[in-house]
Amino acid sequence: MKNVVVFGASSGGKLVGDALTRQPKKYNLVCFVDNDPELKGKKIFHKPVLGDLGVLPSVLAENNIHEVIVAISNVDDELILEISNLCQEKNVDIRVIPKALDIFLEDPILNQLKNVDVSDLLGRKEIVLDSEFLLEQIVSKSLIVTGAAGSIGSELVRQVARFNPSKIIAIDLNENELYLLELFIKRHYSEIDFHSVIGSVQDESFIRHVFKDNPADIVFHCAAHKHVPLMERYPQQAVKNNVYGTYVVARATQEFSVKRFVLISTDKAVNPTNCMGASKRLAELISLSMNSLNTKFMAVRFGNVLGSAGSVIPIFRQLLREGKNLTVTDERMTRYFMTIPEAARLVIEAGYRGEGGELFVLDMGEPVKITDLAKNMIKLSGAAANIEYVGLRPGEKLYEELFYDHSLVDRTKNEKIMISRSESEEKLEFANVIDSLVEVLEGRICPRQFLRDYVPSAEI
């Protein structure tokens, strides 16, 4: 039997407390702890609320506690870090309930608890969506999502599904992850007409066929090659997928009269030093240049996503599992980070509020030192690992940027979302780009030179 302390004595705490007391052979609910002084001394399920965070060390020491469950759905990051540190000192497990928007009321809450992760320690305050507005925009609408099996694409599908669209077309080449997404949607949102479609955004006839057979109201274009070192080795693949693939999907969006197109972009598109970043900048320019009265085109740019496939956190996690040291390119390296759900919510809000032609950027706060990230992960894992510095890889920067010109940035109604005015207004000689793009695909123009020609700021 586990001795458990629940941190949080409000609605989340009551939800967890009720679940624990229903399994008396498995859990012994010892007490509640809460920072609200008005709750001190009260009893919930006949268990006392002993006090605030200050009492937790003595509670852990005196009651042979096995686990602390943080039952605050929108818990402050600093508080999580403090509780996590206290638990580590006493060798006590810690789990947290999901964010309020991520709780499935039909599932037992104890099944939804998750271990504290680095994303809980670096996560930003949640972007608050105007749910009433989005329900009005999405309900009974049809959506197409490319790259739907990826980290952002799949989360975007899960988030949008909450607002009752009539149909979701999910396109990706990753059949396994796409099938798992399909199973999830069918379990939780069975009323939605959901279609998994296996195929590449580079296949123009395939994309046209999908769009023709599935009239849509909005396209979220998430499909992209994002791995910097690999795209440095294979720049033609960066151009084929990120530039040509974007053009194919954007043109189909226009041809079949879809009302909105949202490109998912990256901070690596700013003053790019690698082919991946340059290809995404050109994808931004192509998308925004296609904006018209009939179809509103926009792009959403953000930094690194905590826990996404290929990002630094899964790599660090695997190294720790293998008992290896963590490798960091440079002690000075910093990156902007955000959570996967936050990224998806930003894309959704920007996509439905945009008037067309905007380049949206998230206010991501202060960049994070990768060294600090590595130290936190070592601490959370309890591993006896060190940090090794291995030097910058081809195309990597020490620091990433979010804007070309910080003086030309406008806030939107959501204080966390900004518009880069200068970049939204930048125009492209569209016909020339497409002619050159065809020559790259045919092997008659060097892909790296092509990117240099049309992204003058690129140093590749």
**Catalytic residue positions?**
268
Rg over alpha carbons for the chain, rounded to the nearest Å, is: 24
Helix residue ranges per DSSP H, 354-426: 370-381, 421-425
Does an H or E element contain 264, and which? strand 260-266
Distance CA 223, CA 8 (A): 40
Distance CA 312, CA 225 (A): 16
Looking at the DSSP bridge assignments, the partners of residue 347 are none
Q: Which two tokens stand for residue 322?
A: 């293998």
Q: Which two tokens stand for residue 256?
A: 């079949």
What contacts 55, CB < 8 A, 6 or more positions away? 33
Q: Which two tokens stand for residue 273?
A: 């030093």
CA distance readout (Å), 426 to 254, 281, 358, 397: 20, 11, 11, 24
Pairing of strands 409-411, 387-389: unpaired
Place of tokens 């305050």: 125
Q: How crowded is residue 430: how many other Cβ atoms within 10 Å of its Cβ? A: 13
What is the b/e burial string over 136-174, where b = at least 16 CB atoms within 10 angstroms of the residue's CB?
ebbeebbbbbbbbbbbbbbbbbbbbbbbebebbbbbbeb
CA-CA-CA-CA torsion sign (136, 142, 144, 148): positive
Distance CA 35, CA 58 (A): 15
Does an H or E element contain 298, and which? strand 296-302
Backbone φ/ψ region at 218: left (φ over 0), alpha (ψ -120 to 50), beta: beta
CA-CA-CA-CA torsion sign (387, 392, 395, 401): positive
Helix residue ranges per DSSP H, 71-198: 77-89, 118-122, 131-138, 151-161, 175-188
